[in-house]
């Protein structure tokens, strides 16, 4: 079992005034407190993350986060990954309003980050794997507080940079990071070119009823067969 990672320092109590993390959506006073995740929190944190990224994922080529549920549960067991929950405490009630995950090493078998890029440049990154704030509590300074907490962990552990990945069209997040002095490191972007080809499906076609030749009515048919019969009888007598 993990949990031997460095201990993030306790957040200031009450939560940092500077981050503005004390106001709530309803204008009531509340306090944001940070704690490490427990096994019993995993399921509701997973649900929380799905909610936070629902709108983001609708607009991006690559699913941003969270990764699979299986991976999320595995992360909890891994060494060297810090998972923190941010709870808004109002009186006796508390609600999860933020989540952060960071690692001291490049983690996960699906990670394509190149650690040499950083060593060559004398960078010792803290990899911020996840930052999420509840959609109902965004824009209140909670994200700023989460980021301060990440920076605090980085400093305590001798890291020189916070490094994270964000989709270029996750505009809210990009604005958030840019306003907090994050700069683009590399340019891994998705390109697409439209291939001009004929479709294997034929285009729509107009259909309409063709006018049919007019049908003789029953009486005409009967008259016709009677006169034919008469003609045959006459012919027989001659
Ligand atoms: C990006 C995110 C963490 C910011 O959290 P937050 O609590 O809204 O951030 P703060 O209130 O501290 O800061 C708000 C700032 O971010 C921007 N912002 C981002 N989302 C916003 C929202 N839904 N409403 C208002 N402002 C938002 C604003 O530009 C605002 O401007 P400021 O820099 O002048 O303060 C949050 O929007 C989020 O969880 N988004 C969905 C998940 C996600 O995309 N995570 C990042 C993946 S890399």
Radius of gyration of the chain (CA): 35
Q: pLDDT tens across 176-225, in order?
A: 999 999 999 876 677 777 878 888 889 899 999 988 777 666 676 667 66
In a domain, 213, yes or no: no
pLDDT digits (tens, 9 = 90+) for 34-43: 999 999 999 9
> Which ligand 1 atom minimizes the distance to the CA of 128?
48
Cβ atoms 96, 85 nearer than 8 A: yes
- Residue 207 within a domain: no
Residue 139 Cα to ligand 1 midpoint, Å, equals 6
Query: Are 235 and 228 spatial neighbours (Cβ–Cβ below 8 Å)?
Result: no
| Mutual angle of helices 42-59 and 69-77, in 10-degree steps | 130
Q: What tens digit of pLDDT does each residue of 115-158 get?
A: 888 999 999 999 999 999 999 999 999 999 999 999 999 999 99
- Residue 74: inside a domain, yes or no? yes
15 belongs to a structural domain: no
- Domain-located, residue 51: yes
- Closest Cα partner for 140 from 11, 26, 54, 8? 26
Q: Which domain holds residue 124?
A: 31-178
CATH code of the domain in which 64 resides: 3.40.630.30
Question: Is 87 a domain residue?
Answer: yes
Beta bridge partners of 130: 101
User: Pick from 23, 12, 44: which is nearest to 138 by CA?
Assistant: 23
- Residue 232 counted as domain residue: no
| 0.85 surpassed by pTM | no
H helix or E strand, kind and range, residue 95 = strand 93-103
User: Does residue 234 belong to any structural domain of this protein?
Assistant: no
Question: For ligand 1, is residue 84 a contact (CB within 6 Å)?
Answer: no
Q: How many domains does the chain have?
A: 1
Q: Verify whether ligand 1 is closer than 6 Å to residue 88 (CB atom).
A: no
């Amino acid at each position: 079992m993990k949990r031997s990672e460095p201990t993030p320092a306790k957040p200031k109590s009450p939560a940092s005034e500077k981050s503005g993390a004390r106001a709530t959506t309803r204008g009531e006073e509340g306090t944001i407190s940070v704690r490490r995740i427990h096994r019993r929190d995993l399921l509701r944190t997973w649900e929380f993350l799905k909610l936070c990224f629902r709108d983001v994922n609708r607009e991006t080529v690559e699913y941003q986060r969270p990764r699979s549920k299986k991976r999320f549960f595995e992360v909890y067991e891994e060494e060297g990954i810090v998972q923190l929950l941010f709870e808004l405490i109002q009186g006796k009630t508390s609600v999860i309003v933020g989540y952060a995950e960071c690692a001291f090493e490049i983690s996960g078998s699906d990670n394509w980050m190149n650690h040499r890029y950083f060593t060559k440049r004398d960078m010792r990154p803290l990899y911020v794997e996840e930052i999420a704030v509840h959609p109902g509590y965004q824009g209140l300074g909670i994200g700023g507080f989460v980021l301060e907490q990440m920076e605090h962990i980085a400093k305590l552990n001798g890291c020189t940079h916070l490094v994270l990945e964000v989709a270029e069209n996750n505009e809210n997040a990009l604005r958030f990071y840019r306003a907090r002095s994050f700069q683009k490191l590399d340019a891994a972007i998705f390109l697409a070119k439209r291939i001009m080809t004929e479709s294997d499906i034929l285009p729509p076609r107009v259909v309409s009823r063709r006018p049919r030749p007019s049908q003789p009515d029953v009486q005409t048919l009967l008259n016709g067969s009677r006169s034919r019969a008469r003609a045959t009888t006459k012919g027989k007598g001659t």
